[in-house]
Amino acid sequence: MAVQALDRPGTDAEERAFQARLDAEIKIEPRDWMPEGYRKTLVRQISQHAHSEVVGMLPEGNWLTRAPSLRRKAQLLAKIQDEAGHGLYLYAAAETLGVSRAEMLDALHEGRAKYAHIFNYPSLTWADIGVIGWLVDGAAIVNQIMLCRCSYGPYARAMERICREESFHQRQGFEILAGLCRGTAEQKRMAQDALDRWWWPVLMMFGPHDADSPNSAQSTAWKIKRRSNDDLRRQFVDMTVPQADWLGLRVPDPELRWSEARGGYEFGPIDFDEMRRVIAGGGPCNRERLGARVAAHEAGAWVREAALVHAEKKRRRGRARAA
């Protein structure tokens, strides 16, 4: 429900009661009192997450008409429909914090809001669709499983539903790659090329190193975030490298090696300058993605307007009949 708590600074007692509820693992619900910073952090994070789901449809949509079989096309279409749904669950969750859908969309379309930097890379071959499902969705799932335990009820509930639905996305991607890796030498090369291009940007999805992530401490205290960026990233690498081995693909990191001491993989340095460049608008597809989003929104304006006018006309006729 889009209902808003009173917009005023909290008393000390309210602040203490709020933190006590978090510490007791009691969820915060839309009309409960919350600190303004908590609300703002959630609005930013949930709306960015929603934008990412929506913009994330674009690299996949690129291959919808060229999927190599009807089965693959139906799967990809179902996955893209899910992404649209996930965007809607998340926009609805953000709206419970008192921000309107139109405000969020305007912020995206005017370039004031961010979305995941990963969607500013191109999907050049069919193997990219495999890697996007396997790694991009795989990385998102690791993060989203953590967010199922987020202290804000509507966000946690949206995450649970999204996690349930997304597990097929990852398998769908892996299945595409398994097919290519069992195929011709050219198909295998295509799979390797896609992994080479996506591996590092995917590792960036978990965000900067903990030492360079100044907002993490507050988000952790508020129980929005439960695990650190580096912790989640290590888990993802530990899960994924054996899957790459199974496929017979080489992870493009000369420093990658198993560490007995850590019980996990060590990996090379991540170029976070690249991530910052892409977020700031300098990725290969930023302009194209935002352009496609704005064009779709503008092309749909007459439909939204007509539907409202039609609904209003039906209401008037209903009243006239009743009179």
Partner 1 sequence: MDRDWPLWEVFVRPRQGLSHRHVGSLHAPDAEMAVRNARDVYTRRREGESIWVARSADIVASDPADRESLFDPADSKIYRHPTFYTVPDGVEHL
Binding site for partner 1 (CB under 8 A): 1-3, 29, 31-33, 78, 81-82, 85, 88-89, 92, 95, 100-103, 105-106, 157-158, 165, 301, 304, 307-308, 310-311, 314-315
Residue type, 285: C
Q: Choose between 160 and 230: whose C-beta lies nearer to partner 1.
A: 160
**Tokens, residue 40:** 């703002």
User: Shortest gap between Cβ of 95 and partner 1 (angstroms)?
Assistant: 7
Measured in whole angstroms, the distance separating CA 96 from the mean position of its chain's CA atoms is 19
3-class DSSP state of 115: coil
Q: Which of 159, 27, 34, 25 shows the shortest CA–CA distance to 97?
A: 34
DSSP characters over 34-85: --HHHHHHHHHHHHHHHHHHHHTHHHHHTTGGG-SSHHHHHHHHHHHHHHHH
To partner 1, the closest distance from the beta carbon of 150 in angstroms equals 16
Residue 136 Cβ vs partner 1, minimum distance, rounded to whole Å: 21
Residue 254 Cβ vs partner 1, minimum distance, rounded to whole Å = 43
Least distance from partner 1 to the Cβ atom of residue 5, Å: 8
Nearer to partner 1, 32 or 238 (CB): 32
C-beta of 167 vs 259, nearer to partner 1: 167
When the beta carbons of 162 and 249 are compared against partner 1, the nearer one is 162
Q: How far is CA 17 from CA 39, 109, 217, 222, 225, in A?
A: 16, 38, 20, 13, 20
Kindly give, in sequence order, each residue whose CB lies less than 8 Å from that of residue 95, ignoring residues fewer than 6 positions away: 2, 101
